[in-house]
DNA sequence: TAAACTTGTACAAACTTTGGACAATTTCCC
DNA sequence: GGGAAATTGTCCAAAGTTTGTACAAGTTTA
């Protein structure tokens, strides 16, 4: 998807980035950036990446950073005061989303990914942001529409990440949520961390019927099924041992059972806690113990 | 499969591709493309492939790529095996997804984006693929899990595209689905095309309660609310005039009302058909007519 | 024969390039 | 605080590039 070929003329960049052509040329002279390709006749040809960089820089300038510093910050991936911590970025992300400013959100996330490893971005930027927005919604401080927009946007961002992260060689897993579950993002983050941990992950999205999970796991020879549960209700409505024998190993993660691991055992599965990082760890242990790895 | 025989005269290409004959000849001289066959007397005879290529190039130019670069990009996308048409890519995408091979799917999509403009990829690669998988599911040829995995994956891909596409300056719109609607992807594609048409689009994801849509549209000063409806049921369960006065203009698109526009009028909204491209067009007309643009 | 197409050339409008200049800030230093 | 120095965005003018269209004179098509 990303295309680094220079295809945009300076006028096009002028429109899209909102920077005058004169300024673009001056920056190139003064800071050596951007340095677009040239047509045979010498006209500048900017790439998609250039455009994105320019938008970042423009935003920083609007926030009060000196232009020379903003360019430098982009080139070095550093802020003036050192990398901005995940907490700050998380708050900024929240603020952008509540304003319904997805462009700003995109900028914050892209800065976050440049400054921090993916795990940190997911756990310390995106997750807290989602939690705060969820809490705000419960308190009536955040409207349903704001909550929808935010979680839809972040879900898309996480899934983009998941799609981009190529498959691996490890054991095959199937990831979904418990039936009836409304919250997809937990399972998405789980899938992300499991893929990161080296598993081959088939992410089915939320709400796959159990019978279909079972046959799919069989067809793909999955070693385990991993289900996310955020709402306690989704546990209660399931019959006894409903999860047993869906696959060689069935595990559940998520907030729903945090207080009560027994409710999961009752369904015939193992509860592996609420933290996706730990879940990946515990799963490896469980798989080895069961002789499946 | 592909018909590479030259059959179209330059005048026919002029009409079908929307490029003047003089320009076609100049491109051939300047860029060496297209290089159609010739009749015994020397008249140009363009093939179906040429025509499609020209349409793609024109689309790229419309998206802001410099003409010389658009042609170059097309020629570079042409590898040894020749340009694979959207139909082939769509079938390959389907096949990869049914195998649950998201890595292969990612490769197909990335090739598609390199070879074809975004609009073509969405309408002629992704949409048909989704439709075939949906049909296959109804016929029992595709399992629920396969359908879940596929639509989840493609939804992520489309949303990544939406997030990447920066906001615009045009009138503000709010996009969601009708309440109770299970199919998100229609609204996602609609949002994509509207953003490409220059609107400022707030995409809320599926299933936003109508009251929240209304207050959100007011807070963001949206000119219109655009709702997607794929399942007829979602129409029937709504009370009379339920959509009236949610925003200055309320429109509905999607398959659900294809046979019966009246069912939408009954709800107090306008029906704008099933094609997202046409929807963007009709919406502009409607906005202008209502004096909102 | 009329309409359509060919080639080659020409051309104008829109855009870009370079290097230098300049006024308005902002920063630095005493 | 106040003046010097650096920074920054904008503007200019002449030369060059890109791009779509137009015209003339001859050929092919139907």
Q: Is the CB of residue A226 less than 8 Å from the CB of residue A164?
A: no
In this prediction, residue B293 has a pLDDT band, given cuts at 50, 70 and 90, of: confident
Q: CB neighbours (10 Å) of residue B92?
A: 20
Mean pLDDT, chain B, rounded, equals: 90
Q: Is A43 within 7 A of strand C by CB distance?
A: yes
B16-54 in b/e burial notation, b at 16+ Cβ within 10 A? ebebeeeebeebeeebebbebeeeeeeebbbbebbbbbb
Q: Is the CB of residue A212 less than 8 Å from the CB of residue B145?
A: yes
For residue A175, give the H/E element and its range. strand A172-177
| Burial class, A167, CB count within 10 angstroms (exposed 0-12 / middle 13-18 / buried 19+) | middle
Q: Is A80 within 7 A of strand C by CB distance?
A: no
Residue of chain B whose Cα is closest to the Cα of A40: B68
Helix, strand or coil, per DSSP, at residue B141: coil
Q: Which residue is nearest to nucleotide D17 (CA to C1')?
A: A41
In this prediction, residue B84 has a pLDDT band, given cuts at 50, 70 and 90, of: confident
For residue B200, give the H/E element and its range. strand B200-203
Least-confidence region, from A254-258, B143-147, B177-181, B218-222: A254-258
pLDDT of residue B3: 60
Disruptive mutation site among A109, A156, A169 for chain B (greatest number of B CBs within 10 Å)? A156
| pLDDT over 50 at B196, yes or no | yes
| pLDDT over 80 at A76, yes or no | no
Among A157, A174, A215, beta carbon nearest to B163? A157
Among B68, B103, B163, beta carbon nearest to A166? B103
* Percent of the residues in chain B that have a pLDDT greater than 90, as a whole number: 70
**What's the predicted TM-score (pTM) here?**
0.82
Could you give the dihedral angle defined by the CA atoms of residues B59, B62, B65 and B70, in that order, rounded to the nearest 10 degrees?
30
In this prediction, residue B79 has a pLDDT band, given cuts at 50, 70 and 90, of: low
Disruptive mutation site among A3, A6, A152 for chain B (greatest number of B CBs within 10 Å)? A152
Mean pLDDT, chain A, rounded, equals: 90
pLDDT of residue B83: 67
In this prediction, residue A290 has a pLDDT band, given cuts at 50, 70 and 90, of: confident
Nearest to B251 by CA among B275, B286, B290: B286
Q: Is the CB of residue B166 less than 8 Å from the CB of residue A109?
A: no
| pLDDT over 80 at A18, yes or no | yes
Q: How many Å lie between the alpha carbon of B152 and the closest alpha carbon of chain A?
A: 6
Q: At what angle do helices A67-76 and A48-62 cross, to 10 degrees?
A: 130
pLDDT of residue A168: 74
Phi, psi angle pair for A88, to nearest 5°: -60, -45
Q: At what angle do helices B144-164 and B185-196 cross, to 10 degrees?
A: 20
Q: How many Å lie between the alpha carbon of A249 and the closest alpha carbon of chain B?
A: 18
Is A45 within 8 Å of B66 when comparing Cβ atoms?
yes
* Percent of the residues in chain B that have a pLDDT greater than 70, as a whole number: 96
Phi, psi angle pair for B285, to nearest 5°: -60, -50
Could you give the dihedral angle defined by the CA atoms of residues A142, A148, A151 and A153, in that order, rounded to the nearest 10 degrees?
-120
Average pLDDT over residues A254-278: 86
Least-confidence region, from B4-13, B70-79, B101-110, B215-224: B70-79
In whole angstroms, how large is the CA radius of gyration of chain A? 23
Percent of residues in chain B assigned helix, strand, coil, to nearest 5: 55, 10, 35
Bond into B34 cis (ω within 30):
yes
| pLDDT over 60 at B80, yes or no | no
Q: Is B35 within 7 A of strand C by CB distance?
A: no
Among A8, A103, A212, beta carbon nearest to B65? A8
Tokens 């089915």 sit on residue: A204
Q: How many Å lie between the alpha carbon of B199 and the closest alpha carbon of chain A?
A: 14
Average pLDDT over residues A256-270: 84
pLDDT of residue A243: 87
CA atoms within 13 Å, Cβ hemisphere of B4: 7
Nearest nucleotide relative to B9: CA against C1':
C5
- Joined together, the tokens standing for residue B275 give 């094609």
Cα distance between residue A204 and residue A216, in whole Å: 10
pLDDT of residue B82: 64
| pLDDT over 50 at A80, yes or no | no
pLDDT of residue B89: 95
| pLDDT over 80 at B98, yes or no | yes
Q: What is the dihedral sign for C-alpha A53, A55, A58, A64? A: negative
Bond into A242 cis (ω within 30):
no
| pLDDT over 70 at A131, yes or no | yes
For residue A61, give the H/E element and its range. helix A48-62
pLDDT of residue A3: 64
Contact residues, chain B, for A202 at CB < 8 Å: 100, 102, 149
Answer with the residue of higher pLDDT: A111 or A201: A201
Query: How many residue contacts between A and B have a Cβ separation below 8 Å?
Result: 143
CA atoms within 13 Å, Cβ hemisphere of A109: 27
pLDDT of residue A153: 96
Least-confidence region, from A102-116, B99-113, B149-163: A102-116
| pLDDT over 70 at A2, yes or no | no
Question: Tens of pLDDT along A35-66?
Answer: 999 999 999 999 998 998 999 899 889 988 89
Average pLDDT over residues A138-155: 96
In this prediction, residue B1 has a pLDDT band, given cuts at 50, 70 and 90, of: very low
| pLDDT over 80 at A1, yes or no | no
Average pLDDT over residues B147-176: 90
Q: Is the CB of residue B13 less than 8 Å from the CB of residue B55?
A: no
Report chain B's terminal Cα–Cα distance, integer Å.
46
Distance A89 CA to C27 C1' (A): 29
Helix, strand or coil, per DSSP, at residue A133: helix
Q: How many Å lie between the alpha carbon of B42 and the closest alpha carbon of chain A?
A: 31
Sheet holding A270-271, edge to edge: A200-203, A172-177, A224-228, A249-253, A270-271
Give me the residues paired with residue B172 across strands.
Answer: B200
| pLDDT over 90 at B117, yes or no | no
For residue B7, give the H/E element and its range. strand B6-8
Q: Which residue is nearest to nucleotide D9 (CA to C1')?
A: A23
């Amino acid at each position: 998807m990303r295309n680094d070929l220079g295809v945009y003329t300076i006028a096009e960049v002028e429109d899209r980035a909102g920077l005058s052509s004169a300024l673009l040329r001056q920056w190139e002279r003064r800071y050596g950036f951007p340095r677009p390709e040239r047509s045979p006749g010498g006209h500048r040809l900017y790439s998609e990446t250039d455009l994105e960089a320019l938008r970042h820089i423009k935003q920083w300038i609007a926030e009060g950073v000196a232009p020379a510093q903003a360019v430098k910050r982009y080139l070095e991936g550093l802020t003036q005061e050192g990398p901005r911590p995940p907490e700050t970025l998380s708050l900024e992300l929240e603020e952008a989303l509540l304003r319904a400013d997805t462009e700003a959100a995109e900028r914050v996330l892209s800065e976050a990914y440049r400054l921090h490893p993916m795990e940190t971005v997911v756990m310390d930027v995106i997750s807290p942001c989602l939690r705060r927005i969820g809490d705000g919604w419960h308190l009536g401080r955040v409207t349903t529409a704001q909550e929808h927009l935010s979680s839809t946007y972040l879900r898309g961002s996480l899934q983009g990440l998941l799609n981009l992260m190529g498959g691996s060689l490890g054991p095959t897993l199937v990831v979904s949520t418990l039936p009836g579950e409304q919250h997809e993002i937990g399972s998405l983050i789980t899938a992300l961390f499991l893929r990161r941990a080296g598993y081959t992950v088939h992410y089915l999205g939320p709400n796959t019927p159990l019978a279909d999970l079972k046959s799919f796991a069989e067809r793909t020879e999955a070693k385990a099924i991993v289900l996310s549960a955020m709402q306690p209700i989704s546990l209660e409505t399931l019959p006894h041992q409903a999860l047993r024998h869906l696959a060689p190993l069935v595990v559940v993660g998520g907030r729903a059972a945090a207080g009560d691991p027994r409710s999961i055992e009752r369904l015939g599965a193992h509860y592996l806690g609420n933290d996706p990082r730990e879940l990946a760890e515990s799963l490896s242990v469980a798989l080895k113990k069961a002789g499946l790895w």
